A and B are shown apart, each in its own frame.
Chain A
Amino acid sequence: MTITTSIDNDKLLWMYQMMVTIRRFEEQSKREADAGKLRGMHSSVGQEAVPVGVCAHLRDDDYVLGTHRSHHHCIAKGLDLNAMMAELLGKSTGTNKGKGGTMHIADINKGMLGANGVVGSNIPVAAGVGLSARIRGTDQVSVVFFGDGAANQGTLHEAMNLAGIWKLPTLFVCENNRYAESTPVEYSVSGESIAERASGYNIPSVIADGQNVLEMYEIGGEAVRRARAGEGPTFIEAQTYRYNGHFGADNPLTYRTQEEEDYYEGRDCVERMKAHLSQTKVATEDEINEIDKKALATVEEAARFADDSPFPDPEELTTDVYISYP
């Protein structure tokens, strides 16, 4: 698609910086996992543009809900990298005090209502967050990210219907990275696309190049505008790719080809944005290098912070189960 919105330079640079930061954060997470300090991690490398383009339109008081693969959603929503990395290492300074870990990062002050480990479980919650905004009379929006695999859960269909009948300010953002674990989307999804499912619920939908942050920005902007204006939900199918295995130990070449990987990696969202910035002279090479260096430094600082932080006290095991439990 052609990008019609004129995006101011600060936003462009912010989006580039966010994507690079996510990439470096995920690389660091992988190192932590390889060192045995973190387990059960699902890398978001390759999918950075999807939440960055959408979250560029969000305020701190808008809400995002994520999945088992949500580090990129959290970073795009502005979560603190130190607290995130500490959470991955199960430290008391983590976003969730070490109780949630990689699949459950949450920070209510930043509107991150949690990554969720049960596929499709977050989707109706997002409808409820949209409903809450409606009832409270605010112009907040909720955005739920979920995978192509989650598109086959009943929860999506029930939540879309609710959002449709109640015109909820909710964005359904399906990150179609072509696989649910080892299962290809063309096997698991009946129908031409995931996006077209929304039409059954009278929700406008669009298929986006999820490896193009400018396109994600444009489409996300219109969807957020509609939601804030009371025009109801939008469904975005962002076509993207996870470069790594489903989780750490997974070798994706057992179910997909090198050619396919090369094709998608050749359309890398970070590289394309970098090229765009220099072609349009939004940033010089030095300025881009500066952003790259800064991203790496903040991630390295987060890793140090996480390492230096203590594990939770043993008493923490039984706190936070309830607010009060006489």
Chain B
Amino acid sequence: MVTTETETRKLSYIQAVNEALRQEMERDPAVFIMGEDIAGGAGREDQGIIDSWGGPMRLTKGLIKQFGKERVRDTPISEAGFIGAGVGAAATGLRPVVELMYVSFFGVCSDQITNNAAKMHYMFGGKIKLPLTIMTGMGAGLATAAQHSETLYSIFTHFPGLKCAVPSDAYTGKGIMTTSIRDDDPVIIFQNRQLMGLPASTHVPEDPYTLPIGKARITREGSDVTLVGIGFTSYLNNQAADLLAAEGISADVVDLLWTSPLDEEAILDSVQKTRKVVIVDEDYPRCSLATDISALVAEQGFDYLDAPPKRVSPPHTSVPYSQPLEAAYMPTAEKVVEAVREVMA
């Protein structure tokens, strides 16, 4: 195989999403970004201060210099206000990307998301478009305790009218951002903080590309067990697949990428092949994606199964601060391997 330069173009998650935002802003003047500290040091251009933060995760670094403060707009800490403003802007011809710093803060602005963004298209008889993208950070493992570390995609997946995406690496991060900005429905992109902290390691094409909405991908082909992951847990599942391979167990790894729409077919096809499934989810265990998928497999894939579906989720508790407790709380590759041994037994 010939390795071309583009095939070895490795970006970090943050670089990849940053590139998607930049390319979409270049492509379409209707795209603009709002959020807290997305540029930083707001209002001090005359002192030569501009773009001091470039976003809490640096996802928006450099954009204000290229597109100016009208289109890269720092906000006060008023999530109900500026996410609601995102809804209004989307309903009237713009394509806002709005950042909710961490999804644990969604309660501050959930009315705007679940009552306005999710419902306006339906309530108004399908007569308006709402091309709003909300990007939000999430995930435990950084010792930020109960109010900053949650992984809350299931609660939004619950709401008809919202599309929910959970990228699992730089490649899907860029593709999902581009896809969401171009889509006419409201999309929430859930971005795991540990994934955002990883160094550049994934091939990312420079040219803009979209990914099919609601389609999972298979990151490892295998025949003994299906591992279903969502975002960061897909990353863990790939590690678990390596550990399992060393034990002679071949895992088929389904990386969901979207929780709404959900790629039921990809899950069922894989389970049909392997006859065993472990679902790995960092969100709370009750009424979760893991329970949803478990129900799907039980209802529609029952005949394929050699063992009951197995879930790896945190316990039904808030996220603890203390590092040993937090480590015990989170799914890990080792816990996935353990669960696989149980379904294989």
Contact call A188/B76, Cβ cutoff below 8 A: yes
Contact call B315/A318, Cβ cutoff below 8 A: yes
- Of the stretches A70-78, A94-102, A169-177, the one at the interface is A94-102
For B301-318 the 0/1 string (1 means CB < 8 A from A) is 000000000000001111
Contact call A119/B77, Cβ cutoff below 8 A: yes
Query: In the assembly, what is the distance between CA of A317 and CA of B47, in Å?
Result: 49
In the complex, chain B residues whose CB is within 8 Å of the CB of A96: 321
Q: Is B36 an interface residue (CB 8 A)?
A: yes
Query: In the assembly, what is the distance between CA of A96 and CA of B320, in Å?
Result: 10
Given contact pairs A103-B144, A254-B53, A255-B53, A183 touches B325 in the complex (Cβ within 8 A)? no
Contact call A103/B147, Cβ cutoff below 8 A: yes
- Among B75, B77, B318, the one with the most A-chain Cβ atoms within 10 Å of its Cβ is B77
- Contacting A at CB under 8 A, from B262-320, are 315-318, 320
Interchain nearest-CB distance for B283 vs A (Å): 16
For A290-326 the 0/1 string (1 means CB < 8 A from B) is 0000000000000000000001101011100100000
Interchain nearest-CB distance for B231 vs A (Å): 21
In the complex, chain B residues whose CB is within 8 Å of the CB of A102: 321
Contact call A153/B77, Cβ cutoff below 8 A: yes
Q: In which size bucket is the chain B interface? A: 35 or more
Given contact pairs A91-B322, A99-B320, A153-B78, A183 touches B36 in the complex (Cβ within 8 A)? yes
Q: Which residue of A lies closest to B147 (CB)?
A: A117
Interchain nearest-CB distance for B337 vs A (Å): 19
Q: Which residue of B lies closest to A314 (CB)?
A: B328
Q: Which residue of A lies closest to B145 (CB)?
A: A101
- Among B41, B74, B144, B315, the one with the most A-chain Cβ atoms within 10 Å of its Cβ is B41
Contact call B146/A254, Cβ cutoff below 8 A: no
In the complex, chain B residues whose CB is within 8 Å of the CB of A318: 315-317
Choose among A100, A153, A181 the residue that contacts B146 (Cβ–Cβ < 8 A): A100
Q: Is A204 an interface residue (CB 8 A)?
A: no
Contact call A182/B322, Cβ cutoff below 8 A: no
Contact call B81/A255, Cβ cutoff below 8 A: no
Choose among B43, B107, B142, B148 the residue that contacts A187 (Cβ–Cβ < 8 A): B43
In the complex, chain A residues whose CB is within 8 Å of the CB of B142: 39-40
Contact call B324/A311, Cβ cutoff below 8 A: yes
Query: In the assembly, what is the distance between CA of A187 and CA of B52, in Å?
Result: 14
Q: Is B27 an interface residue (CB 8 A)?
A: no
Query: In the assembly, what is the distance between CA of A39 and CA of B323, in Å?
Result: 10
Q: Is B56 an interface residue (CB 8 A)?
A: yes
Q: Is B329 an interface residue (CB 8 A)?
A: yes
In the complex, chain B residues whose CB is within 8 Å of the CB of A321: 316-318
For A119-130 the 0/1 string (1 means CB < 8 A from B) is 111000000000
Q: Is B89 an interface residue (CB 8 A)?
A: no
In the complex, chain A residues whose CB is within 8 Å of the CB of B148: 40, 103, 117
Q: Is B155 an interface residue (CB 8 A)?
A: no
Q: Is A152 an interface residue (CB 8 A)?
A: yes
Q: Is B245 an interface residue (CB 8 A)?
A: no
For B47-88 the 0/1 string (1 means CB < 8 A from A) is 101001100100000000000000000111111110000000
In the complex, chain A residues whose CB is within 8 Å of the CB of B127: none
Q: Which residue of B lies closest to A38 (CB)?
A: B143
Contact call B43/A150, Cβ cutoff below 8 A: no
- What are 23 contact pairs spanning A and B, CB under 8 A? A39-B144, A40-B145, A98-B320, A99-B325, A101-B144, A103-B145, A104-B321, A120-B77, A149-B76, A150-B77, A153-B78, A154-B78, A154-B81, A182-B41, A184-B42, A188-B42, A254-B40, A254-B49, A254-B53, A255-B44, A311-B322, A311-B324, A317-B325
